[in-house]
Structure 1
Amino acid sequence: MTGVRHAETADSFVHEGLFYRDPDGLLAGTVPFVTGGLAAGEPVLVAMPGANLRLVRATVGPTDAVRWADMTQAGRNPGRIIPWVLQAFIEQHAGRRVRIIGEPIWAGRSATEYPACAQHEALINMAFAGRDATILCPYDAGRLDADVLADACATHPVLVDDAGRRPSAQYAPAEVVARYNTPLSTPTEPVSALAYRFDSLPAVRRFVTGHGQAVGLDEDRLADLRIAVTELAANSVAHAAGSGVLRVWHTAEHLVCEIQDDGWLADPLAGRLAPATDGIGGRGLVIVQALCDLVRVHSTAAGTTIRLYVRRQA
């Protein structure tokens, strides 16, 4: 892939999907994007998995004008990326156009993580409509499955590859959000359950603490888990029918906590945008996203299931 020409100026939000097949293609698609932003005086953020991040950073060369972030850490949970990576950077530079490279999907992503990743890419379009930002999302077309690349075509209004830059004829982000809003798989591991009401939140905290201690979570992660689960249970009490069910199990990699109630998260961006600093409410699910390693949601008018994953420690 030779150097790719990106949109150098734009009046509003631009979201591009870059398909590359090798390191040369990755560099051809990303380095001019970065240097073009620097030449235009635009703040630049590059958030990619470690190896790609190091490659692009070494090619761009030493500069304090670019912010670099390892997406395997900053975006391990896809639900963190919009509020805590993209939105945070855009709002830090309010009044200026910004340029961002974000690679949230890579070959090492698990099948459990992927639906949240696809929804993330679709929701970017809604979250930042009208904002002065250009976000370029690289996809390794040589290693990712065809279904992933098809989703990329549906979540990015503009595609970039060896053939150049063009509108995506398959662009349909709302369909992607809906397609992955499916019932969550039934766990194969033994499950412990606790029904709760408005007067049993202390029991919820004790229940979660016991399971976290049993799998060896340290005190910091236990505190994070208690906050996340209590926040969701309190939301059930306040906004659903005043009750719900907490289920807990563990896999070889995660402690998993699931909250189920009869509420409905009608807004697909719920938990994906940080609320205004002077706002009241609206913080619960975005805080949960920040504290957990993965959050999966299935919500319809019939009820909501939110599944939290916290990595077990070695």
Structure 2
Amino acid sequence: MLRAPLRAALERGDHAVAVVDDRCRAELDRDLGPDAGVEYRPPERMHSAPAFTVATRWARAARAAARGGNGRRLMAVGQQFDFPNTDAGYWTRLDVALGHVLHGLPVTMLCCFDDAPGARDAAGTMHDVLLVDGEEVASRTRRGDRDLLADHPQPPPEALGPPLLDTEVDLAGLAGMRRLVRREAVLSGLGPFRASDFVLALNEIVANGVEHGSGRPRLRMWRTADELVGEVSDAHRTRLPFPGMIAPPAAGSRGRGLWLASELTDVLQVWTAEDDPDCPDGIVVRARMSPP
């Protein structure tokens, strides 16, 4: 099923990326040849973050392929896996997010499903078109994205214990906040470049709260065994769709700060009262960064 579209993409000079299990990779290598040019990314690394962050990783891959010029596109192949740390709604959230973050980008995304009884209808709830026996078939069971996310909301922010920093920040306190974040980033071993990225990311998030929110967002930070975590919460509600996930238009005035923060950090998660009635504030943004 994958052989024909992948071969056609490679013959066009497109960049092909596959995140599949060993069995599927072996079959593709047998059909296409091990030197066909498919880039295989380890599933456990690609899916080492929440679903919305993984979607942005695919979007970056599509933009990188386009930089090759000559109308180059990305042919992406994704397969579902049973990971011990993924909840039941992970793959639904990922599929919904992919439909939004990849919109308008030069990419064709193929999501692999077992064609067991009932599996085709289940896959159709998240996709407009199915590829069946090489033919495109319109889904008969497609559901709305809001309904899907309502049934499979992302888990609430994980409790991380007492923070090492907990402060409200106003306009006059932005410079001092940046110094505090840089100090913690250096102490966490992020190194000069990643520390600067983390400072800029949190500055963008906090500045959003100062300029567009309540004017006094709350910043908390934690240091775990593996990463530095910064969280900004604000009572002001936002109605931005998929905040931080979609690159804003060049002429746009909203959404740029969260998107930049997402690009600069390892993981950016956003919870809003609009999407999660149990959200303790109007918006909670959590950024995570690990040492190099």
Cα RMSD between the aligned structures?
4.1
- 1:300 partner amino acid: A
- 1:84 partner amino acid: R
Which residue of the partner structure matches residue 303 of structure 1?
Answer: 282
Per-residue CA deviations over 1:62-99 (Å, capped at 9, x if unaligned) read: 346x6666676677541523541235546866978x56
- 2:287 partner amino acid: L
Tell me if the contact between 2:62 and 2:107 (Cα under 8 Å) persists in the aligned partners. Answer: no
Extract unaligned runs of 5+ from structure 1: 5-29, 143-148
2:111 pairs with 1:121: no
Per-residue CA deviations over 1:114-135 (Å, capped at 9, x if unaligned) read: 8676434203334455777531
Which residue of the partner structure matches residue 138 of structure 1?
Answer: 112
Q: 1:262 to 1:80 in 2, by over 3 A?
A: same
Deviating more after overlay: 271-280 vs 224-233: 271-280
- Tell me the distance in 1 between the aligned counterparts of 2:243 and 2:160: 29
2:170 pairs with 1:211: no
Aligned-residue identity in percent: 22
2:76 pairs with 1:101: yes
Per-residue CA deviations over 1:139-178 (Å, capped at 9, x if unaligned) read: 5899xxxxxx998553223446899975362544322334
Which residue of the partner structure matches residue 207 of structure 2?
Answer: 234
Tell me if the contact between 1:47 and 1:71 (Cα under 8 Å) persists in the aligned partners. Answer: no
- 1:187 partner amino acid: A
**How far did residue 255 of structure 1 move?**
2.0
Q: 1:209 to 1:140 in 2, by over 3 A?
A: farther
TM-score if structure 2 supplies the norm length? 0.72
Which residue of the partner structure matches residue 221 of structure 1?
Answer: 194
- Tell me the distance in 1 between the aligned counterparts of 2:89 and 2:197: 24
TM-score if structure 1 supplies the norm length? 0.68
Q: 1:208 to 1:52 in 2, by over 3 A?
A: farther
Mapping 1:34-183, distance limit 5 Å: 34-38=6-10, 41=12, 43-48=14-19, 55=26, 58-59=29-30, 60-61=32-33, 62-63=35-36, 77-87=53-63, 89=65, 98=73, 100-103=75-78, 106-108=81-83, 110-111=85-86, 118-128=92-102, 134-138=108-112, 154-159=125-130, 167=139, 169=141, 171-181=143-153
**How far did residue 287 of structure 1 move?**
1.7
- Tell me the distance in 2 between the aligned counterparts of 1:285 and 1:67: 30
Q: 1:196 to 1:179 in 2, by over 3 A?
A: farther
**How far did residue 111 of structure 1 move?**
3.4
Q: 1:104 to 1:175 in 2, by over 3 A?
A: farther
Which residue of the partner structure matches residue 24 of structure 1?
Answer: none
Which residue of the partner structure matches residue 268 of structure 1?
Answer: 241
- 2:60 partner amino acid: W
Q: Which has the higher strand share?
A: 1
Per-residue CA deviations over 1:227-280 (Å, capped at 9, x if unaligned) read: 111110011111102111111123333322111012333132332222345656
Extract unaligned runs of 5+ from structure 2: 275-280
Deviating more after overlay: 167-176 vs 257-266: 167-176
**How far did residue 309 of structure 1 move?**
1.8
Aligned length: 276
- Tell me the distance in 1 between the aligned counterparts of 2:197 and 2:174: 16
Which residue of the partner structure matches residue 277 of structure 2?
Answer: none
- 1:137 partner amino acid: C
- RCO higher in structure (CA 8 A, sep ≥6): 1
Tell me if the contact between 1:195 and 1:244 (Cα under 8 Å) persists in the aligned partners. Answer: yes
Tell me if the contact between 1:196 and 1:246 (Cα under 8 Å) persists in the aligned partners. Answer: yes
Q: Secondary structure at the match of 1:103?
A: strand
**How far did residue 294 of structure 1 move?**
1.6
